Amino acid sequence: MTATDRSIELINAAAQAAADRLAHDIIAYDVSDVLSITDAFLLASAPNDRQVKSIVDEIEERLQKELGAKPVRREGDRDARWILLDYVDIVIHVQHSEERVFYALERLWKDCPEIDLPEDAVRTRGKAEEHAQLNGGVEGDQS
């Protein structure tokens, strides 16, 4: 079984929205073979809480406006360290860079096929590391 065309459409729109809001290290996995509850995961990160919220808001707005999709659940808003958007067909994780490193979700899903993403999203790979080096290796809540 593979992710549906609708899931791929949602993932690509969400990835582009995240890239437009300068998310780091955007990647998506087709988890349909190992999970029955969803088809795909999108992972993205940002160096501060405000940017995490901005990315999530842009994804939510874009999917609603362009594809008529609303999340059935949104979790993690209060702290904005890890916000999850559940669209049933896809689940989106936008994490603060520190949480992304600590929880390393990529490790859990590394055996699942990666989903091809828009070029803007692909170009975000390695941005978290680049940002950390530019800021002396310390990521805080300042922008």
Contact in structure between 43 and 95 (CB atoms under 8 Å): yes
pLDDT value at residue 137: 54
CATH number of the CATH domain containing 36? 3.30.460.10
Question: Judging by beta carbons within 10 Å of its beta carbon (0-12, 13-18, 19+), is residue 51 exposed, middle or buried?
Answer: buried
Q: How many CA atoms lie within 13 A of 77 on its CB side?
A: 7
Owning domain of residue 31:
5-127
Q: How many CA atoms lie within 13 A of 126 on its CB side?
A: 2
Residue 142 domain-assigned? no
Sites in the chain below the pLDDT cut of 70: 1, 131-143
Domain count, the chain: 1
Q: How many CB atoms lie within 10 A of CB 88?
A: 14
Q: Look at the pTM and tell me if it is higher than 0.85.
A: yes
Contact in structure between 22 and 46 (CB atoms under 8 Å): yes
pLDDT value at residue 134: 65
